[in-house]
Amino acid sequence: MIYTVTFNPSLDYVVHVPRFSEGIVNRTVREQLYPGGKGINVSLMLRNLGVESMALGFVAGSTGESITRFLQEKGCRTDFITLPEGMSRINVKLKSEQETEINGQGPYITEDAIQALYEKLDKLKIGDVLVLGGSIPHTLPSDMYERILARLYGRGISTAVDATGELLLRVLKYHPFLIKPNETELAELCCRVPQSDEELVCCARELQAQGARNVLLSLAERGGMLVTEQGEIHRLYAPYGETVNSVGAGDSMVAGFLAGFMQCGDYYEAFRTGIAAGSATAFSEWIADEMLVRQLMQRIK
């Protein structure tokens, strides 16, 4: 079973305004409402690809109830911890000539709620996969990722971590099964800007030397690269298409990789599924459906 954790889920209110202007009343031409958060995006794509997962995390208030209900209606299993006060955040995504985001703060996460999450994670079994992604809310300890991976270390549980900077570097010693930096994040982690595919490989291997098992590099419209724990190097280019939405594309890439690996146990096929899933979501208004992912898999070079 794959488990995803979203510490600070949201309702993403997406509004389309043809020509946004400050200081006046602007009229939308279209609105959409989606649940948001990196772990939630991974669970949604996994469900679309026919792989079961369990979405964990913290929710609060009526917005938290809406997030849970939405996921369940989409066929996702949830086991969120309901906080006693506050409300899950609402993020406003304004799409006009430029994209603008206003992200909410989210509820206060109590110590009792943190302990409740630990108890759920303690029930994971050998062979399970845990996905952690995104930033740490200010109400949680800044080393929350490290605490979780230390708690699970040595129990035969694979972890996938999609985080940046020190947040990621501090957990490499626990040998995560998968990490997914993009090109900018890789440059920050390795303290230099890679100028070629060969330099990308060198940076990935530096992260492996620190403990990462498989490094999945997201290279936006240029596709991606996979450096495996077996020493293999795979490079694939993204299929051509119009980018409609960048939100959730990286999460879809992680989900596609995990789904592909669980279904066939082959790193190359997992990588190909990941590239297709990430591209499919980039070409869609929200998390892409399975049909588009499978279509794009046939176009990947």
Beta-carbon count within 10 A of 155 CB = 11
| Cα 138 to Cα 67, 174, 250, distances in angstroms | 21, 24, 23
Nearest-angstrom CA–CA distance, 10 and 6: 9
Q: Do the beta carbons of residue 63 and residue 89 sit within 8 Å?
A: yes
DSSP letter at 131? E
Residue among 128, 251, 266, 289 flagged as catalytic:
251
Q: Do the beta carbons of residue 72 and residue 78 sit within 8 Å?
A: yes
DSSP letter at 284? S
Q: What angle do CA 170, 42, 267 make, to 5 degrees?
A: 75
Nearest-angstrom CA–CA distance, 159 and 130: 5
Tokens of 161: 């971590």
Nearest-angstrom CA–CA distance, 28 and 220: 29
Q: What angle do CA 10, 15, 18 make, to 5 degrees?
A: 155
Nearest-angstrom CA–CA distance, 113 and 96: 39
Nearest-angstrom CA–CA distance, 59 and 37: 12
Q: Is 266 in the active site?
A: no
Collapsing DSSP to helix, strand or coil, 147 comes out as helix
Name the residues annotated as catalytic.
251
